[in-house]
Amino acid sequence: MRNDYPNYVGQDAPATKRPITKLPPWGETSVVGKRLARVDAYDRVSGSAVYTSDVILPDMLYAAILRCPHAHAKLKRLNITKAKSMPGVRAIMTDASPGANIPWFFGEKGALSRLFDPHCRYEGDEVAAVAAESPYEAWDAARAIDVEYDILPFVSDAEEALEQGAPAVQEGGNREGEPYVRERGDVAKGFAEADAVLEETYRTSCQIHTPMELHGSVAQWDGGRLTVWDSTQGVFDIQRSLAQTLNLPLSSVRVISRYMGGGFGSKLELGKYTVIAAFLAKMTAQPVKIMLTRENSFLCVGNRPPNTIKLKAGVKNDGTLTALHLISLGTGGAYPADSSVSYLVRDLYLCPNVRTEETNVFINAGTARPMRAPGFPQCAWALEQMMDALAEKIRMEPIELRIKNIPSYSQVRNNRPYTSIGLKDCLVEGAKTFGWKRAREQPRQDGTIRRGVGVAAAMWGWEGEPVSTAIVKLFPDGSANLNIGASDIGTGTKTVMAMVVAEELGVPLEKIQVENADTATTQYAPASGGSQTVVANAPAVRKAAVEVRTQLLELASDELKRPVAELTLKDGMIQTLSEPIRKVPLSELKILGRVQTIVGVGHRDPHPEGKIALPFVAHFAEVEVNTKTGEVRIARFLAAHDSGRVMNRLTYENQVFGGVTMGIGFAATEGRILDGQQTGKMVNANWHDYKIPTAMDVPLDETCLPIDPHDTECNNTGSKGLGEPATIPTAAAIANAVYHATGIRVTHAPISPMQMLALLAEQGERR
């Protein structure tokens, strides 16, 4: 059911055996690494960028989905007579329509649901869909559908779901499969060898993705060919899933996502709404647009599942970890979903005896989807607080304890060595820049405002082995076109890729046009996820650009009567290096006019045999706990990252600060609240009651410290993943800082003012 780490993005192995062509690592770069604004920044902020919700086609209809308002119910009656006759209504799809039976959500014994299933297992399960001439008419008609439910008892808590007599979310029971157990060494022996053993139960809340751009699709049929504009992280994944679902050849399904406004993992997979749009478009022979609502985005398109993590750890007085034992209970909601969290416990530190046991249960709530480093922030919340507690227990400096347990230069993981040298640098250099030693040595204060500092470390474990192809074209006027399949999910992918082309061809950035994320017209790229977008695509782009460069210089060498070795490309010109120095703008090169276009194709090579490069991170937080209000203010933050080469200093910092902000939300403000008493419904499915951090909640004094160990063995750009590591240890660092400030170990995320006040009061009573 689960791999060592779930393969939730893209494909795993190269399709063809191509000879591996190695490019030498870059020396000094002139474009790559610079702080440059996004190439499409103006388009994005001015409104000229066409996102899925901006797509308007002739004769297009708008769809609305009627969703079950109950946590658990069965359809008793569904009558569309009135709705059908409402103004503007063109089609209605229900569980009786053709296509409604398409199986959905696969468990171990087959599908656990259908596109429209009369058994609604969470608040938001699809019941019916309407296509009408305007969105308002569609919504009016959806509301006019006469529907009656048998309301069933619900369960909204993972522990309760396992109790005897709990309402069954799925017929097979509330346990999803067997517990997922991984083990190395012998934990009992490890605990026996330890000088100190600690045990603690940590809880994390359900975090919602809430990307700025809502989920949605536009579907259009042209004969037997389906075109879908979709807000997705991976057009090729959606194409594949749609083709399978609708039983069409891949060539008959085109998926486009040129502009994308955030996904964080919630837009990796095909949504029911996309299939519904395709059916409604088929039924009406008109294009259909379907955009979900903000409330839907809280209920129906994924989340970071909540976990209860019991962690027991043994350590020797010299700081050597002897055993780690993790037992996790998680819930991915009403349908099969991954809630495993154990990865970091197994792989971050060198510990000979590790056992992890994980159970996923069904509850009546929306299904989890991968969310920015799935499982990792939850595990860091437990493991990195535990490391802090162990350090205190054996009176060791917490950074020293971590460094003591970092695997040496390379440790075998899944039979492949990885380099962990960057983690030590993140901790050591980060501590220096943060002023850790001095801040940590401050004695605990007694006043209203209590200051403290904390640290947490992590790695990101998705190694990928991504296939991608890029095409670069150079035109006779010296401008260039880059063709890649990747979605730019807001991270600046297009910009970074264009910078790679600019680096190799000396073409100014503004003269490079990027075509991307269209299965009919662009090359294959894996989904933009797993922090693999740069790592998967940049090496192919660089190769394509180098191919153009090689051809160009050969042609120019003939024309300029100088050997290739004496030519270079810079600022849109060919320059000769030897006397007399000549600079010829590309547009004046006659040969370029004759050949018109120089084309270069680049493929991404697999990682070298037996070698992977993983990113590492250490976060440092300084907090102020207000003992009167219970508020935790993050005063100062430093994020030290080994994500390999910095491709663009600005987009690098954007990723880090965005990830930290999401981590601050996970630590302090965010959490789905289900009414477990009366309705089972989510009571904070909006941006007012579900609080994501704003500019007021993040520290002004935030520092990004890139650590680059110059590891170019794995890919020709020396880049590693960044987007996900940036959110992994944030919350744990904050919790450790809160402990340093107050002596209170907050084990339940988020550290809300309410919880903090209660814990402070408890502490007061104990004194």
Rule CB under 6 A: which residues touch ligand MOS?
9, 233, 263-265, 268, 370-372, 374, 529-530
What one-letter code names the amino acid at 59? D
Of the two residues 370 and 430, which places its CB atom closer to ligand MOS in the complex? Answer: 370
> Tokens representing 249?
């050849």
The continuous run of DSSP H or E covering 762 comes out as helix 753-766
Least separation in angstroms between residue 530's CB and ligand MOS is 4
| Number of neighbours of residue 229 by Cβ within 10 angstroms | 29
How would DSSP label each residue in 115-168?
Answer: SS-SEE-STT-EEEEEEESSHHHHHHHHHHSEEEEEE------HHHHTSTTPPP
Least separation in angstroms between residue 670's CB and ligand MOS is 16
Least separation in angstroms between residue 529's CB and ligand MOS is 3
Of the two residues 212 and 695, which places its CB atom closer to ligand MOS in the complex? Answer: 212
Percentages of the chain per state (helix, strand, coil), in multiples of 5:
30, 25, 45
Of the two residues 517 and 623, which places its CB atom closer to ligand MOS in the complex? Answer: 517
Q: Please, are residues 756 and 746 in contact by the beta-carbon 8 Å criterion?
A: yes
87, 347, 492, 671, 707 from 244: Cα distances, Å: 35, 36, 31, 35, 43
Q: 516-531 as b/e, with b when 16 or more CB fall inside 10 Å?
A: bbbbeebbbbbbbbbb
Of the two residues 211 and 430, which places its CB atom closer to ligand MOS in the complex? Answer: 211
Q: Is 425 helix (H, G, I), strand (E, B) or coil?
A: helix
Of the two residues 52 and 747, which places its CB atom closer to ligand MOS in the complex? Answer: 52
Of the two residues 267 and 604, which places its CB atom closer to ligand MOS in the complex? Answer: 267
* Alpha-carbon gap, residue 381 to 744, rounded angstroms: 15
What one-letter code names the amino acid at 376? F
Q: Is 590 helix (H, G, I), strand (E, B) or coil?
A: helix
* Alpha-carbon gap, residue 705 to 475, rounded angstroms: 39
Of the two residues 371 and 505, which places its CB atom closer to ligand MOS in the complex? Answer: 371
| Number of neighbours of residue 159 by Cβ within 10 angstroms | 13
Of the two residues 287 and 659, which places its CB atom closer to ligand MOS in the complex? Answer: 659
Of the two residues 624 and 724, which places its CB atom closer to ligand MOS in the complex? Answer: 724
Least separation in angstroms between residue 718's CB and ligand MOS is 21
Least separation in angstroms between residue 333's CB and ligand MOS is 16
Least separation in angstroms between residue 267's CB and ligand MOS is 8
Least separation in angstroms between residue 655's CB and ligand MOS is 12
Cβ within 8 Å of residue 214, ≥6 positions away: 53, 231, 291, 292, 293, 294, 296, 297
Of the two residues 436 and 462, which places its CB atom closer to ligand MOS in the complex? Answer: 462
Q: Is 40 helix (H, G, I), strand (E, B) or coil?
A: coil
* Alpha-carbon gap, residue 755 to 747, rounded angstroms: 10
* Alpha-carbon gap, residue 290 to 177, rounded angstroms: 34
The continuous run of DSSP H or E covering 757 comes out as helix 753-766
Cβ within 8 Å of residue 447, ≥6 positions away: 627
* Alpha-carbon gap, residue 319 to 604, rounded angstroms: 42
Least separation in angstroms between residue 461's CB and ligand MOS is 12
* Alpha-carbon gap, residue 686 to 19, rounded angstroms: 52
Question: For ligand MOS, which residue has the nearest CB?
Answer: 265
Of the two residues 464 and 699, which places its CB atom closer to ligand MOS in the complex? Answer: 464
The continuous run of DSSP H or E covering 619 comes out as strand 616-626
| Number of neighbours of residue 153 by Cβ within 10 angstroms | 12
Of the two residues 234 and 709, which places its CB atom closer to ligand MOS in the complex? Answer: 234
Least separation in angstroms between residue 652's CB and ligand MOS is 17
Phi-psi region of 114 (alpha: psi -120 to 50; beta: other; left: phi over 0): beta
Least separation in angstroms between residue 466's CB and ligand MOS is 12
Of the two residues 264 and 279, which places its CB atom closer to ligand MOS in the complex? Answer: 264
Q: 261-285 as b/e, with b when 16 or more CB fall inside 10 Å?
A: bbbbbbbbbbbbbbbbbbbbbbbbe
Question: H/E/C letters for each residue in 442-507?
Answer: CCCCCCCEEEEEEEEEEECCCCCCCCCEEEEEECCCCCEEEEECCCCCCCCHHHHHHHHHHHHHCC
* Alpha-carbon gap, residue 7 to 487, rounded angstroms: 19
Of the two residues 621 and 656, which places its CB atom closer to ligand MOS in the complex? Answer: 656
Reference 12, options 536, 631, 746; nearest CA is 536
Least separation in angstroms between residue 709's CB and ligand MOS is 23
Of the two residues 470 and 527, which places its CB atom closer to ligand MOS in the complex? Answer: 527
> Tokens representing 674?
């289900």
> Tokens representing 356?
């992890």
Least separation in angstroms between residue 527's CB and ligand MOS is 8
Q: Is 82 helix (H, G, I), strand (E, B) or coil?
A: helix
Of the two residues 333 and 506, which places its CB atom closer to ligand MOS in the complex? Answer: 333
Reference 445, options 760, 743, 732, 755; nearest CA is 743
Q: What are phi and psi of 42, to 5 degrees?
A: -65, -45
DSSP state of 660: H
What one-letter code names the amino acid at 281? A
Least separation in angstroms between residue 205's CB and ligand MOS is 17
* Alpha-carbon gap, residue 549 to 474, rounded angstroms: 9
Of the two residues 9 and 166, which places its CB atom closer to ligand MOS in the complex? Answer: 9
Least separation in angstroms between residue 157's CB and ligand MOS is 25
Of the two residues 377 and 506, which places its CB atom closer to ligand MOS in the complex? Answer: 377
Q: Is 386 helix (H, G, I), strand (E, B) or coil?
A: helix
